[in-house]
Amino acid sequence: MTSSTVLKRSESSVDEGMDSKQVPRDLLVVTYHFPPIQSAGVYRLVGLVKHLQARGWRITVLTVQRSTHESHDAETLALIPDGVRVIRTHSAEPAAAMLRATRARARAVNTADPVTPAAPRRKNLPHRVLGGPWRAAVRVLSYPDHQIGWAPRVAREVARFVQRHPGTVVMSSTPPHSTQLGVRLARAFVTFGWVADFRDPWTIPLRQPKGRANLAFQRAMERWVLFGCDRVIANTIGNRDGLLKSFSKLDPGRVVTIPNAFDTDTMPSAARSDDAALACDIAYFGEVYPGMLDEYRDAVRLLVARDAGAAPVLHVFGRVTDEDVARVARDGLSAHIVFFGVVSYTRSLALMRSARSLLLLLPEGDAMATCVPSKLYPYLFTGRPVFALVPRGDAARVVTETEAGMVVVPGNVSATADALQRFVESVRSGRARGAVANERRDAYDMRRAADEVHAILQQVAARG
């Protein structure tokens, strides 16, 4: 199996971060998520790569040729900056391939038409009999995640690149966290500076693997990475605090918080106000994970019972399960919650800019307190009011500090319904306001994040 290398057209750029007489340092960015994959993590990496290149880094990206289970959008390839070298390698993902057959339950349609519920499928006898061994095989082949098969190739390619380019600094960005294992394995044999970026936590505090032995083994892998790199980047304050609490010997000076951000350069023109897709009071963008929509749906059901004509209309643009579509139809809410499937990144941003208001969702519970959905950052820069149905924590803090909209803590459907009604009335009357351009909002501009990452990379490079 061979790797493929793509070098986009080089162009001269102003060195904003290094001495003009200094030879640019090599930065190898290791990430599973990169165009044409369409996922939230892609846009953080593309933005950082672009702005770090402008600060004088000679950047190479190591990524996969093709993901077996992620959505792809060829349009995102245009986001890769000119002059960035991209190395694409094969990723062996047998577990992900096995799961493709079962992922039919999750819709990823690319259509402008609303999604209708699919007919329920009955499990036949072979499916019921073989289901247990099938699931066991998937678990074995996807430990600690479905992309573990890429880790050996990561180790090989990182070691090879560093040997050919002495002085290289490596920045690995995950999930999938098995990618960090590949970089750590390479560092066991070759010396290089390494910054480990965690866009989501591995085991704490959001994710707790089931079983003591499982948790202990995953913690051991995480510890091997955390203590084996030079610096650690956590994407929220809560995730940084969780790391330091769980790994008490981890030096706090080596762990920094750099939140996800939005690259305003990618913001397209707003969609036309008469776009049929925007014939709604509120819009949601991104994947709807199982259970995430439950409280909002129950709140809308209460409002419809009170006054169907006054109840809000939500349009959902993103992947959704058949179960959610069916439950909305079964509750008689198909006119109030309409699913449009996946749209392109550019199209989603254009729709965001023109939407009357935007919806942010997280399930209730302390486990989600440190999670900040990546969609929140472009939400902020559209200036549209946000209805944030999220638990107390980092996401609620961002919405509150930037005055982006209304925060409602899930757990009381009746209270959520009352708050939603007040919010929609303010939207319809023109009184609702979103985040405005100021220092608090601009703290989440990609340029600010790139400045902070650049400073860390320089520190690591200076150590040799």
* pLDDT tens-digit series, residues 124-152: 555 555 556 656 655 655 678 888 999 99
For residue 163, is pLDDT > 70? yes
Determine, yes or no, domain membership for 134: no
For residue 407, is pLDDT > 70? yes
- In Å, the largest CA–CA distance within the chain is 71
Among 29-33, 89-93, 380-384, 449-453, the minimum mean pLDDT is found in 89-93
* CA angle, residues 35, 314, 397, in degrees to nearest 5: 70
Are 203 and 312 found together in one domain? no
> Nearest-CA neighbor of 179 among 204, 196, 201?
196
Are 254 and 281 found together in one domain? no
Are 421 and 457 found together in one domain? no
CA 411/CA 419 separation, integer angstroms: 13
**pLDDT given for residue 211 in this prediction:** 75
CA 51/CA 438 separation, integer angstroms: 21
Are 347 and 438 found together in one domain? yes
Determine, yes or no, domain membership for 110: no
**pLDDT given for residue 21 in this prediction:** 46
Write the single-letter amino acid at 230.
D
Mean pLDDT of 83-104: 73
Mean pLDDT of 153-170: 97
- Give me the count of residues in the chain: 464
Parallel/antiparallel/unpaired status of strands 231-234 and 193-198: parallel
Determine, yes or no, domain membership for 106: no
CA 441/CA 401 separation, integer angstroms: 8
For residue 109, is pLDDT > 70? no
HEC secondary structure over 176-198: CCHHHHHHHHHHCCCCCEEEEEE
Determine, yes or no, domain membership for 123: no
Give residues with Cβ within 8 angstroms of 155, minimum separation 6: 182, 183, 185, 186
For residue 15, is pLDDT > 60? no
If one counts the domains in the chain, the total is 2
**pLDDT given for residue 125 in this prediction:** 56
More reliable by pLDDT, 419 or 205: 419
* Structural domain span for residue 337: 265-442
Are 234 and 275 found together in one domain? no
* CA angle, residues 256, 261, 267, in degrees to nearest 5: 165
Number of C-beta neighbours around residue 6 at 10 A = 12
| pLDDT tens string 340-349 | 999 998 999 9
Contact (Cβ atoms closer than 8 angstroms) between residue 203 and residue 219: yes
Mean pLDDT of 433-460: 96
Residue 339 CA neighbour count, 13 Å, CB half: 30
Mean pLDDT (the chain, rounded): 87
Among 67-81, 316-330, 390-404, 429-443, the minimum mean pLDDT is found in 67-81
Are 279 and 249 found together in one domain? no
Determine, yes or no, domain membership for 126: no
For residue 180, is pLDDT > 70? yes
Are 337 and 423 found together in one domain? yes
**pLDDT given for residue 141 in this prediction:** 57
Give the long-range contacts of residues 454-459, CB within 8 A, separation 24 or more. Answer: 454/17, 454/51, 454/52, 454/55, 454/57, 456/195, 456/231, 456/233, 456/256, 457/25, 457/27, 457/52, 457/57, 457/169, 457/171, 457/193, 457/195, 458/17, 458/18, 459/231
Phi, psi at 271, each rounded to 5°: -65, 155
**pLDDT given for residue 139 in this prediction:** 60
Are 38 and 176 found together in one domain? yes
> Nearest-CA neighbor of 370 among 239, 244, 241?
239
| pLDDT tens string 246-301 | 999 999 999 999 999 999 998 999 999 899 999 999 999 999 999 999 999 999 99
Are 201 and 242 found together in one domain? yes
CA 384/CA 405 separation, integer angstroms: 8
For residue 170, is pLDDT > 90? yes
Element of type H or E holding 169: strand 169-174
**pLDDT given for residue 105 in this prediction:** 43
Give residues with Cβ within 8 angstroms of 368, minimum separation 6: 206, 362, 390, 391, 393
For residue 73, is pLDDT > 90? no
Are 270 and 193 found together in one domain? no
Determine, yes or no, domain membership for 159: yes
Element of type H or E holding 361: strand 358-361
**pLDDT given for residue 261 in this prediction:** 94
Contact (Cβ atoms closer than 8 angstroms) between residue 396 and residue 237: no
Distance from CA of residue 109 to its chain's centroid? 19
Contact (Cβ atoms closer than 8 angstroms) between residue 336 and residue 417: no
Question: Across the strands, what pairs with 315?
Answer: 283, 338
Determine, yes or no, domain membership for 117: no
Among 38-42, 175-179, 238-242, 246-250, the minimum mean pLDDT is found in 38-42
**pLDDT given for residue 463 in this prediction:** 87
Are 311 and 412 found together in one domain? yes
**pLDDT given for residue 38 in this prediction:** 85
**pLDDT given for residue 14 in this prediction:** 36
**pLDDT given for residue 2 in this prediction:** 47
- Per-residue pLDDT band for 23 (boundaries 50, 70, 90) equals low
**pLDDT given for residue 368 in this prediction:** 87
CATH of the domain at 307: 3.40.50.2000
**pLDDT given for residue 365 in this prediction:** 83
Among 23-27, 111-115, 168-172, 382-386, the minimum mean pLDDT is found in 111-115
Among 104-108, 111-115, 325-329, the minimum mean pLDDT is found in 104-108
Are 437 and 450 found together in one domain? no
Determine, yes or no, domain membership for 270: yes
**pLDDT given for residue 203 in this prediction:** 83
Mean pLDDT of 184-206: 90
In angstroms and rounded to an integer, the radius of gyration of the C-alpha atoms of the chain is 23
For residue 42, is pLDDT > 80? yes
Strand, helix or coil for residue 284: strand
Residue 39 CA neighbour count, 13 Å, CB half: 15
Indicate the angle between helix axes 322-330 and 294-307, nearest 10 degrees.
20
**pLDDT given for residue 439 in this prediction:** 95
**pLDDT given for residue 120 in this prediction:** 52
CA dihedral for 353, 357, 360, 361, sign (positive or negative):
negative
